[in-house]
Amino acid sequence: MDVLQGLMQQLVTALAGTSGWIQSHLAAISTAIVTTLLVIFGDEINGFIKKQIRNYNFFVRTGAFVLLCVFGYGLLATAGASAVGSLLLYFGSHYLPLTVIATFVVMGMLAERKKYM
């Protein structure tokens, strides 16, 4: 039992050391998370919009697609990255490394289910 407690203490110490590094790179990590989610779910978003504007003429469909790409995805990427960064910090800096690792593992599983891997 003492060996397990010692191992856990070493793990906690190692993760606490990486927490500062992760916090200094949180903006890039949050952007990576949001853009990965946009890649995974972009087909569904585009399909939904496509169904909504299918009966309109070419110019309306093209304009809607441009607006979706410029404003929709742009807004999701910028505001989403800020929100994800705040959400990651919500769990506290002590759990930040585990939260980031778990997030990327879950996104990998989502990508696998969507056949992106």
The vertex-106 CA angle with 82 and 43, nearest 5°, equals 75
Give the predicted TM-score (pTM) of the model: 0.79
Question: Domain-by-domain residue ranges, the chain?
Answer: 2-113
Residue 5 has what pLDDT? Answer: 83
Q: Higher pLDDT residue, 13 or 101?
A: 101
pLDDT band at 116 (very low <50, low <70, confident <90, very high): low
pLDDT tens across 27-73, in order?
999 999 999 999 999 989 999 999 999 999 999 999 999 999 888 89
Residue 10 has what pLDDT? Answer: 81
Measured in whole angstroms, how far is the alpha carbon of residue 59 from the centre of its chain? 33
Is 60 exceeded by the pLDDT of residue 101?
A: yes
How many whole angstroms separate alpha carbon 39 and alpha carbon 55? 26
- % pLDDT > 90, the chain: 52
pLDDT tens across 76-94, in order?
899 999 999 999 988 788 7
Using CA of residue 74, residue 76, residue 77, residue 82, what is the dihedral sign? positive
How many whole angstroms separate alpha carbon 44 and alpha carbon 38? 10
Is 80 exceeded by the pLDDT of residue 17?
A: no
Residue 117 has what pLDDT? Answer: 56
| Residue with tokens 């289910």, as numbered in its chain | 113
Q: Using H for helix, E for strand and C for coil, what is the string for 27-85?
A: HHHHHHHHHHHHHHHHHHHHHHHHHHHCCCCHHHHHHHHHHHHHHHHHHHHHHHHHHHH
